[in-house]
Amino acid sequence: MRSPSVLIAIPVYNEEKYVCRVLAHVLEYADDVLVIDDGSTDRTTAALPKFPVDVIRHAVNRGYGRSMRDAFDWARMRRYDWVITMDCDEQHEPAAIPMFVEAARRDTLDVISGSRYLDLDPSSDSPPPERRSINKVITEEINRRLGLNLSDSFCGFKAYRVDALRRLRLTEDGYAFPMQFWVQAVAAALRIGEVPVKLIYNDPNRTFGGPLNDAETRLRHYRQVLHCELERCAPRLPPEALTDVDAGCGCG
């Protein structure tokens, strides 16, 4: 069996502090790297030509979900077998890339999701309490409604089978992208598994920007996107998915 072709896709936004170290390290493990520069206004953009990577440049900040969708489109158009996504803030270790590639080579899953809470090392960093709390609440709700057994629904370190992504119709531009993704992945009967990745928090003071900096507002937003997607995909979901979905969630 031939080795799968793999693209590493890295969304970045104002990551001048980390981008050079991250790209240099990633290139030790991968030949094909795509950076999605989501409208950076610092020196991130100027650093990218120093590296043998492809770049998609947003003229303005369009959001994490839009960057992910652009990465998926790039991988499809160039006919990669798999796309591995990771962050550019040194919270995802490039040394874990071979683990994702090996899991992809086993050819039993469509989504290989990194989990910071699976086999958690007691010496790991601690995330900000409100972030851990929201992750736990949303992950439990996703599991209950979709029949999954995730331990970390928000980790951006993932491997996706590109052909499986063709079954999805993702539209979410912002940080609520995982809410839409998990619902559509289950509706499309994608095979989902988790692998442990290290829990690293270099900067607990990083913010989401705008209203999402408020934890309660962020939780309400995540739930709204999740519930709206549950309603849209209802015919292809297990019956329990729509139990107690908020009828006033504002879905159009």
Tell me, yes or no, whether 140 lies in a domain. yes
Is the predicted pLDDT of residue 87 greater than 80, yes or no? yes
User: Is 164 within 8 Å of 188 (Cβ atoms)?
Assistant: yes
Q: What is the CATH number of the domain that holds 167?
A: 3.90.550.10
Number of domains comprising the chain: 1
115 is a domain residue? yes
- Six-digit token pair at 73? 């489109």
- Encode pLDDT of 130-162 as tens digits: 878 999 999 999 999 999 999 999 999 999 999
Q: Alpha helix (H) ranges present in the chain?
A: 19-26, 44-47, 64-77, 97-105, 129-146, 162-165, 177-187, 215-232
Residue 227 lies in a domain: no
**Burial, 219: exposed, middle or buried (Cβ in 10 Å; 0-12, 13-18, 19+)?**
middle
For residue 68, what are the domain limits?
6-207
Asked if residue 230 belongs to a domain, the reply is no
Q: Report if residue 236 sits inside a domain.
A: no
Tell whether 40 is covered by a domain.
yes
pLDDT of residue 208: 74
Residue of 56 and 132 predicted with greater confidence? 56
Q: Give the H or E element holding residue 54.
A: strand 54-57
